[in-house]
Amino acid sequence: MLRAVPRFRVERNLQTAGVLWCAYGAYRVIGGLVGILFLRAFANGGFGGNGWPFRHGFGRGFGPGFGPPWLTAIVPVIAVVTIIGTVLAFCVGYGLLQRKPWGRMLAIVASILVLLKPILGTALGIYTLWLLAPSASAVEYDAIADHS
């Protein structure tokens, strides 16, 4: 039996979804910065003093670091992935909050990408897909989108 989609579901939940995407972007910034900070400190031997058990034994890395070369080289990769994910999340949030015509499609693509991020990304991806993926949602979003 087919269940009717509640009328105006997109309009009722669109602002919530936009705010959640902006909050997720801020979460990605904070998480990325903390991750980069700890990885750099670990790769460069910056944790603890000489008595710290992981300070020695990795061999010499690039420069003054104690970590292996791959550990030092992964820091820029994490930075780029964090920047791309953050910009994408803020663009989705902006597009949904401003009801841009491209906001729905970008949100669906971003939702599929963040499904693999445990807990918060998965929950946000499922919520956004539930909200915007059905064809009835496309019609409703097009009706409320700001085409100016």
In a domain, 2, yes or no: no
| Count of all residues that appear for the chain in the document | 148
Q: Identify which has the larger pLDDT, 52 or 59.
A: 52
- Cβ atoms of 47 and 70 within 8 Å: the answer is no
In a domain, 5, yes or no: no
In a domain, 3, yes or no: no
Identify the pLDDT of residue 1.
58
In whole angstroms, give the CA distance from residue 125 to residue 109: 9
In a domain, 120, yes or no: yes
In a domain, 39, yes or no: yes
Residue 31 in this model has a pLDDT that exceeds 70: yes
**Residues of the domain holding 136:** 10-144
- Cβ atoms of 115 and 124 within 8 Å: the answer is no
In a domain, 118, yes or no: yes
Domain count, the chain: 1
Give the global pTM.
Answer: 0.78
Going by pLDDT thresholds of 50, 70 and 90, the confidence category of residue 76 is confident
Identify the pLDDT of residue 115.
94
